[in-house]
């Protein structure tokens, strides 16, 4: 891995503005010998990480400063003869140097900020657990991809010292037989940027990072906007300003995942300390994380597909920075809410919008659920309200769960009116949004693995319930 200047990074950004980065995560199933070899590589990366961290920590203790203009280069040159460095392929070792340097750079920025504005004093980057495994990254040009018997395989190199140590096993099989990886069908050698080998819960994963050209959709109209309100039972509520029917993504499967996980953890930890950990807990955590990640990505894909089908060129996403810290929906609901990664949904949507040329806007969502959309109630920004705005009362009110009654007595979907207010707060033309748009919405259930939630949403006046698998849109 090469270390680029700020100017070079700007040039690369300009060069790659019409492309997007796609990451494919692959879970490796290795033989015992294959696992031993790959884990050995990652363990040497872990040891190198700790060695570099120790060196920089001691330097900071002595000199109370760090030279970040050359820190990455210095690490590479000073530790070339290090045992763990030589066990890794040179560019893989450089990637470890780069990651350590970035950690200390971030620390120094926070450290300087502490003395300027009195913010919390940061802690020095710490060490990784001895004997653990740390990720290594290989640039695309160092990954050799070939075809054997109609199947794509990739192989990566190791350090010279590593090759000497693992030259042959007892039956004479060469090392490269064990570090070949099957390449996913969606990965192309011409677009491969880098390959990262990671470990989580003692399992090995490959992250194939590819750079591909953005798809161009000429039918998108920036004046067609989709407002998004996030929640629990209704994970996302989407209202277009075009007057078309909105839709809701059912959030109950996500709640069920969290509830089952919490129950499993409670059962496994019964009679043990809070810090207790086991293989069963690791597997349960990994399963839960995979299911949540799957749900998030499919939800984002569903939203984007709907935008592409309807020619929507802009998304307005309602967001509250303190959404996890300040919410108080009771003990059970809070437990579910804080375990829902809304940030991941926001970031995934932003990434997909950039890919397809859809404008993505984040709007502060305070008062959007409380104030009446159809009565034109004022929507101030939380923390910046005037005294008059603080004292104003909403024209409408919530009646029963999921319903909102306007000043004129019309009952609409509460989350739909929240999404509509989010559009209004972003200064979007909402003249085509009618009472009917906020009353009749489609519910979409997302497949999670092989299971499908058959529960219907509990919002008011849902017109239908549709189960889908998120797929790439047809161009």
Over residues 378-432, the pLDDT tens digits come to 888 887 877 777 778 888 888 888 899 999 899 999 999 999 999 999 999 999 9
CB 45 within 8 A of CB 96: yes
Q: Nearest CA to 103 among 134, 68, 78?
A: 68
- Tokens 């560019």, residue? 91
- The dihedral over CA atoms of 165, 170, 172, 175, expressed in degrees to the nearest 10, equals -40
CB 395 within 8 A of CB 420: no
Q: For the whole model, what pTM was predicted?
A: 0.73
Rounded to whole angstroms, how far apart are CA atoms 359 and 222?
7
Rounded to whole angstroms, how far apart are CA atoms 212 and 230?
30
Q: What is the pLDDT of residue 13?
A: 56
Rounded to whole angstroms, how far apart are CA atoms 432 and 420?
11
Mind listing the pLDDT tens digit for each residue in 333-371? 445 444 678 999 999 999 899 888 899 999 999 889 889
Which residues in the chain show pLDDT less than 70?
Answer: 1-17, 64-70, 72, 166-178, 322-339, 449-475
* Cβ neighbours for 55, distance < 8 A, ≥ 6 positions apart: 75, 78, 79
Q: Nearest CA to 211 among 2, 9, 14, 20?
A: 20
Rounded to whole angstroms, how far apart are CA atoms 242 and 311?
10
Q: What is the pLDDT of residue 337?
A: 45
Domain ranges for the chain: 19-213, 221-376+393-468
- Point out which residues pair with 377 in neighbouring strands: none
* Cβ neighbours for 186, distance < 8 A, ≥ 6 positions apart: 22, 24
Q: Are strands 247-250 and 441-448 parallel, antiparallel or unpaired?
A: parallel
* Structure tokens belonging to residue 294: 């799957």
- Write b or e for each residue in 427-455: b if 16 or more Cβ atoms lie within 10 A of its Cβ, otherwise e: ebebeebeeebbbbbbbbbbbbeeeebee
Q: What is the pLDDT of residue 1?
A: 45
CB 236 within 8 A of CB 303: yes
């Amino acid at each position: 891995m090469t270390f680029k200047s700020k100017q070079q990074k700007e040039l690369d950004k300009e060069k790659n503005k019409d492309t997007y980065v796609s990451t494919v995560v692959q879970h490796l199933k290795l033989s015992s010998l294959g696992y031993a070899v790959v884990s050995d590589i990652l363990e040497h990366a872990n040891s190198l990480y700790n060695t570099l961290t120790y060196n920089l920590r001691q330097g900071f203790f002595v000199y109370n400063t760090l030279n970040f203009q050359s820190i990455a280069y210095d690490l590479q040159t000073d530790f070339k003869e290090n045992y763990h460095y030589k066990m890794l392929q040179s560019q893989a070792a450089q990637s470890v140097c780069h990651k350590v340097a970035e950690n200390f750079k971030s620390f120094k920025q926070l450290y300087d900020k502490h003395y300027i504005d009195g913010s919390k004093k940061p802690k020095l980057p710490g060490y990784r657990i001895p004997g653990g495994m740390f990720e290594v990254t290989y640039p695309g040009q160092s990954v050799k991809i070939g075809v054997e018997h109609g199947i794509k395989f990739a192989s990566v190199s190791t350090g010279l010292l590593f090759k000497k140590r693992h030259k042959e096993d007892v039956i004479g099989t060469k090392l490269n037989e064990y570090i070949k990886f099957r390449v996913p069908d969606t990965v192309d050698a011409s677009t491969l940027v880098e390959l990262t080998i990671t470990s989580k819960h003692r399992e090995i994963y490959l992250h194939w990072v590819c750079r591909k050209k953005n798809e161009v959709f000429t039918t998108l109209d920036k004046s067609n906007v989709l407002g998004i309100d996030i929640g629990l039972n209704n994970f996302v509520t989407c209202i277009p300003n075009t007057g078309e029917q909105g839709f809701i993504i059912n959030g109950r499967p996500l709640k069920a995942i969290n509830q089952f996980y919490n129950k499993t953890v409670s059962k496994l930890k019964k009679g043990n300390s809070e810090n207790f950990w086991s293989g069963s807990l690791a597997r349960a955590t990994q399963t839960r994380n995979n299911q949540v990640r799957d749900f998030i990505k499919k939800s984002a894909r569903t939203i984007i597909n709907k935008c592409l089908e309807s020619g929507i060129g802009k998304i307005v996403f309602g967001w509250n920075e303190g959404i996890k810290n300040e919410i108080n929906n009771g003990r059970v609901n809070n437990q579910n809410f804080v375990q829902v990664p809304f940030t991941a949904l926001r970031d995934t949507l932003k990434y997909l919008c950039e890919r397809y040329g859809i404008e993505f806007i984040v709007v502060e969502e305070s008062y959007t659920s409380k104030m009446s959309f159809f009565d034109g109630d004022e929507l101030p920004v939380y923390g910046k309200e005037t005294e008059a705005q603080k004292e104003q009362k909403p024209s409408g009110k919530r009646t029963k769960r999921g319903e909102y009654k306007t000043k004129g007595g019309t009952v609409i979907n509460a989350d739909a009116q929240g999404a509509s207010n989010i559009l209004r707060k972003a200064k979007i033309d909402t003249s085509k949004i009618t009472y009917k748009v906020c009353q009749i919405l489609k519910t979409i259930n997302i497949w999670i693995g092989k299971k499908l939630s058959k529960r219907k949403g509990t919002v008011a006046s849902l017109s239908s319930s549709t189960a889908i698998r998120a797929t790439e849109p047809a161009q």
